[in-house]
Amino acid sequence: MTTADESGHPAPARNPSRTSLYALDALNFFLSDVRDGMGPFLGTFLRENQGWDTGRVGIALAASQVGTVLAQTPAGALIDRIRWKRLAMAIAAVIVAMGCILLYLMPTETAVVATQATIGAAATIFPPAIAAVTLGIVGRAAMARRTGRNEAFNHGGNVIMAVLAGGSAYLLGYGAMFFLVAGMAALSIIAVFLIRAGDIDHDLARGADDGDVEGRAAIGIRELFEDRRIVTFIASAVLFHLANAAMLPLVGQKSADHMKSGAPVLMSACIVAAQVVMVPVALLASRLATSWGRKPVFLIGFAVLPVRGLLYGLSVNPFYLVAVQLLDGIGAGIFGVVSVLVVADLTRGTGRFNFTQGALATATGLGAGVSNVLAGFIVKEAGFNAGFLTLATIAGVGLIFFALAMPETRLQGHNPAISAETNVGAGQVE
């Protein structure tokens, strides 16, 4: 039995078990917190609880991105080659959880930087592995809608964990946040092994077209990057993360200076506000990226970033900061879905889907790391408003670059009826 993908090309039907599909939902939910380690909460902890200045906090946050830069491309290449993707995710979850506990128990500068780098390296496994397993389970015809569903569960998990983290930190102290990650990691390991190995087509998972001969060799890396669209998209994504990565940590540090003990609660509120918005945005983005195309949807996500950066500098009122953070739900919700679809478009039939994801994540990790260091030292020298203005300017430059340089990647010949034929909730094509 066959159906059609977005371009109208025939593709074999995928009929994975419901157990695997629901386990994939659970995996995205539980990994929501594990894949980012302590995220922006670490900056608040180091600033308020340990008394670090913004420059040192920026270095600590950037250390995770350094680990990402060094490991992400090899991680993507590894996921393209291995068939033990589930075990790889389980091992990475254990490393991240242990690292988060160590951050709390040994908050010295050397230990924090080393642990952050290790967490960043281990977490590089999650994005390509989840995308690969998703593609290998549901196939190309259902990939867009399923990616939106993955992101919705991921953001839903972030909402729950942000509430638990902020509440537990307020009631029990910062240590509770760190140990929550360990519990999430344990649950994610159970979820990953509930995905049935036989439901994953590992050749399809690395970007081979549906129906390709098993074991077909991937194209060369040089040939892959001769496609200028890949280079242009990676450059655009770097600018996005260079502008975006430091914004929420700066809000946390700014609030720590003004609110003292209430900073963890504000951070939780900011994260919850954004993640709640991301759930419907991710689902809608997956639909619009199929009907409108990838570029116009991505432009919407990019356009809110400079606005958000400018608005952060106008007030320190906690309700105002939470309201501004809602814009992050639009930008990040769109990026999480559309970036995976663009990479899938550009690597179709190459066998380099996960390698390219890894290269993209390496580049964006570098951008995010530079963002935290740059913003940290600008704030140290010129204040928080100067930091937010710098990030907003970078975002504006990135928006213009993407609008002018990046073409549409969705293949022509799309049949809107496909959306009705694809039961993404079950991962099956009728």
Q: For residue 36, what pLDDT is reported? A: 66
**Measuring CA to CA, how many Å separate 16 from each of 128, 419, 429?**
20, 18, 10
Q: What is the mean pLDDT of residues 131-142?
A: 87
pLDDT surpasses 60 at 395 = yes
Q: What angle do CA 335, 338, 340 make, to 5 degrees?
A: 100
Q: For residue 259, what pLDDT is reported? A: 61
Q: What is the mean pLDDT of the chain?
A: 81
| Domain definitions of the chain by residue range | 17-209+227-411
CA distance 274 to 252: 14
Q: For residue 424, what pLDDT is reported? A: 41
CA distance 95 to 116: 11
Q: For residue 295, what pLDDT is reported? A: 94
By C-alpha distance, which of 30, 41, 36, 28 is closest to 270? 41
Q: Which residues contact 381 (CB under 8 A, 6 or more apart)?
A: none
Q: For residue 134, what pLDDT is reported? A: 92
216: tokens are: 């077909």
Q: Model confidence over 213-233: pLDDT tens digits?
A: 444 567 788 888 888 999 999
Q: Which residues contact 292 (CB under 8 A, 6 or more apart)?
A: none
Of residues 372 and 20, which shows the higher confidence score?
20
Which band of pLDDT confidence, cut at 50, 70 and 90, is reported for residue 14?
low
Residue identified by tokens 């951050």 is: 103
CA distance 231 to 222: 12
**Measuring CA to CA, how many Å separate 144 from each of 331, 336, 361?**
18, 12, 19
Q: What is the mean pLDDT of residues 375-404?
A: 90
> CA neighbours within 13 Å on the CB side: how many for 275?
21
pLDDT surpasses 80 at 327 = yes
**Proportion of the chain in helix, strand, coil states, percent, rounded to 5:** 75, 0, 20
Lowest mean pLDDT, pick from 84-98, 162-176, 201-215: 201-215
CATH topology of domain 17-209+227-411: Growth Hormone; Chain: A; (1.20.1250)
* Torsions phi, psi for 422 (to 5 deg): -100, 115
Q: For residue 415, what pLDDT is reported? A: 38
Which band of pLDDT confidence, cut at 50, 70 and 90, is reported for residue 110?
confident
* Torsions phi, psi for 4 (to 5 deg): -125, 150
Of residues 90 and 312, which shows the higher confidence score?
90
18: tokens are: 């419901």
Would you tell me how many other CB atoms lie within 10 Å of the CB of residue 417? 9
CA distance 232 to 237: 9
185: tokens are: 């990691």
Q: Which residues pair with 2 in a beta bridge?
A: 12
Q: Model confidence over 351-362: pLDDT tens digits?
A: 888 888 888 888
Q: What is the mean pLDDT of residues 237-256?
A: 84
Q: For residue 324, what pLDDT is reported? A: 86
By C-alpha distance, which of 367, 368, 357 is closest to 129? 357
Chain Cα centroid distance, residue 164: 21
pLDDT surpasses 90 at 21 = yes
Q: For residue 319, what pLDDT is reported? A: 80
What sections of 82-206 are H helices per DSSP? Answer: 85-105, 109-123, 126-138, 143-172, 175-194, 202-205
By C-alpha distance, which of 3, 1, 2, 9 is closest to 348? 9
Q: What percent of the chain has pLDDT over 70?
A: 85
pLDDT surpasses 50 at 422 = no
Residue identified by tokens 């501004």 is: 324
Of residues 26 and 315, which shows the higher confidence score?
26
Q: Read out DSSP for 181-212?
A: HHHHHHHHHHHHHHS-GGG--HHHHTTPPTTP
Q: What percent of the chain has pLDDT over 90?
A: 24
* Torsions phi, psi for 413 (to 5 deg): 95, 15
CA distance 264 to 4: 48
Q: Model confidence over 150-198: pLDDT tens digits?
A: 988 988 887 787 777 777 777 777 777 788 888 888 899 999 999 998 8
pLDDT surpasses 50 at 421 = no
Q: For residue 1, what pLDDT is reported? A: 46
pLDDT surpasses 70 at 413 = no
Q: What is the mean pLDDT of residues 311-329?
A: 83
CA distance 356 to 378: 33
By C-alpha distance, which of 301, 298, 333 is closest to 147? 333
CA distance 20 to 6: 24
